[in-house]
Every structure is written in C-alpha cells, then in structure tokens.
C-alpha cells in the first residue's frame, strides 16, 4: 500500500459553541481517491474546512506530503496551501472580472517552475477553457467555472486536493468530464478527498468510501462493500 499522506485523528470542530465534528478519524494515501459521503449537515464540508484551517478544531491532522510535514491543526490556511493541500470549495470562488488565464495565473505558487502542471495541461484537459482563456471568468457557465476552479487549484501543484461537491448543479455530460478529470489527477500521483452527494460518480471513481453522520464517520470501506451494505446506505445516505 502507498504511504499515508494525511492522517486525521480524533478531529473535533466547532462553530462558536456549536460542536460539529465528534472525533473524526481517517487516512488518505498517496495517489488515492477517497469519497467522503453523507447527507447535508453530516459534517463533510466542516471536515474539509477543518483540514484547511478555516474552522476552529482540535485533534491531530498529520500531513506527510512532499513539501513539508507536520500537524496542520492551528496553522493558517495559506500555510496549509503552501504545504501542498489544494482546496476547491463548493461555491467555486473564481475572480469574475479577471480572465480565465489570469485566474489560472493566480493559482501558481512562485513562478510555477517545477510544477507538475502547466497552462498547456489545463487547456489540453479542458479545451473549452482554452477557447475562453481571454474571456472574463464571470461570463462562463457553471460547468466551465467548476473546471476553472479545479484547474486554478491544480496550478498550485498540490499533493492532495480536497474538492467539495464538484458536480453540484452540472449537466450529466459535465459530471462525466469531472469524473475523468479526477481520474487523471490520480494517474499523476495526486490524492483526492472528494466530498460528493452523487453516489454514482463517487462510487465509480473512488478507491475507498467514508460515510459521515452527525459529525462522525459511520462507515469506512471500498465502494463494493458500501454497495453491499444496504443498512448504511438506507440509514445515512438515501433521502
């Protein structure tokens, strides 16, 4: 088995006095896609924000990526990004008045030398972005904005990318494209923590699945073992 690059251990997170995560523990290995599943309000997005230093948390977040190692708890979001973790939030966060190319340029760390990813890579993967590279990002469709956010994060050359609901509101064809894209990341040795509601896409591309409920992990296993576990799906996933 490849090495563990992120070990989450006994993670608790809070919004003010509200205790949201209750002892979350799991691991992500190098070059692995892990799906974090659960209903809305189960704690998935809070887990991502805790890893990225965006919410108050306690516990241990042991990072062993390529750039710098150590416990992420208490670190600033920009430090965590520089250590090699990329984050694609649910709301996409593009810069609408900047062009597509300028948005990608902002994603680069330093001068981009030594990065696994170039502008050409992005435009090859998503020809639509190449066509629109000189357009303002605010005029792109929802699917194109999602592609742009993913690509801008990749330009920072992360070892792990955390993606929150990448297929939300996208047409089925674009959902398939996002799935192919995530598999390409894995081929290049990048780990993915995928927060997703669409079980079909998550189960199709993931190596392992985690299910959250009420701020805790209630299931860990392969997609096949989750498919076979009717109780977990009915109790924690199906609406």
For residue 5, give the CATH number of its domain. Answer: 3.40.50.300
Is residue 148 situated within a structural domain? no
User: Is the pLDDT confidence value at 8 over 80?
Assistant: yes
Tens of pLDDT, residues 28-49: 999 999 999 999 999 999 999 9
Is residue 134 situated within a structural domain? no
3-state SS, residue 138? helix
Say how far apart CA 140 and CA 134 lie, in whole Å: 11
User: Is the pLDDT confidence value at 113 over 70?
Assistant: no
pLDDT of residue 90: 83
Tens of pLDDT, residues 162-184: 999 988 877 788 888 888 888 88
Is residue 76 situated within a structural domain? yes
User: Is the pLDDT confidence value at 85 over 90?
Assistant: yes
Is residue 77 situated within a structural domain? yes
- Report yes or no: 36 and 210 within 8 Å, Cβ to Cβ: yes
Provide mean pLDDT across the span 129-144. 93
3-state SS, residue 140? coil
Range of the domain at 8: 1-84+160-166+193-239
Q: What angle do CA 163, 166, 169 make, to 5 degrees?
A: 155
Q: How many CB atoms lie within 10 A of CB 147?
A: 24
Task: Kindly state the helix (H) or strand (E) to which residue 225 belongs, with its residue range.
Answer: helix 223-227
CA distances from 184 to 49, 122, 189, 203 (A): 25, 12, 9, 16
User: Is the pLDDT confidence value at 108 over 90?
Assistant: no
Rounded to the nearest integer, the mean pLDDT of the chain is 91
Is residue 142 situated within a structural domain? no
pLDDT of residue 103: 95
Count of the separate structural domains present in the chain? 1
User: Is the pLDDT confidence value at 238 over 90?
Assistant: no
Tens of pLDDT, residues 199-218: 888 999 999 999 999 999 99
pLDDT of residue 117: 86
In the chain, DSSP finds a helix count (H) and a strand count (E) of 10, 10
pLDDT of residue 95: 94
Please state the separation of Cα 172 from the chain's center in Å: 20
Please name which of 22, 18, 70, 1 lies closest in space to residue 212, comparing C-alpha atoms.
Answer: 22
pLDDT of residue 168: 82
3-state SS, residue 36? strand
């Amino acid at each position: 088995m490849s090495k563990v690059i992120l070990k989450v251990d006994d993670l608790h997170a809070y919004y003010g006095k509200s205790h949201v995560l209750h002892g979350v523990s799991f691991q992500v290995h190098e070059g692995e896609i892990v799906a974090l599943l659960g209903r809305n309000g189960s704690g998935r997005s809070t887990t991502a924000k805790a890893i990225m230093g965006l919410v108050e948390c306690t516990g241990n977040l042991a990072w062993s990526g390529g750039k710098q190692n150590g416990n992420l708890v208490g670190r600033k979001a920009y430090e965590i990004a520089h250590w090699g973790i990329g984050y694609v939030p649910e709301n996409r966060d593009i810069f609408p008045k900047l062009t597509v190319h300028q948005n990608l340029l902002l994603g680069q760390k330093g001068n981009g030398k030594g990065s696994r990813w170039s502008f050409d890579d992005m435009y090859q993967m998503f020809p639509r972005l190449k066509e629109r590279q000189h357009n303002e990002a605010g005029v792109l469709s929802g699917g194109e904005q999602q592609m742009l956010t993913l690509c801008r994060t990749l330009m920072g050359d992360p070892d792990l990318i955390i993606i929150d609901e990448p297929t939300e509101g996208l047409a089925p064809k674009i959902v398939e494209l996002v799935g192919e894209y995530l598999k390409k990341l894995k081929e290049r040795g990048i780990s993915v923590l995928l927060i997703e509601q669409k079980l079909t896409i998550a189960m199709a591309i993931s190596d392992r699945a985690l299910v959250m409920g009420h701020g805790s992990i209630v299931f860990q296993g392969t997609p096949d073992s989750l498919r076979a576990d009717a109780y977990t799906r009915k109790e924690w996933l199906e609406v």
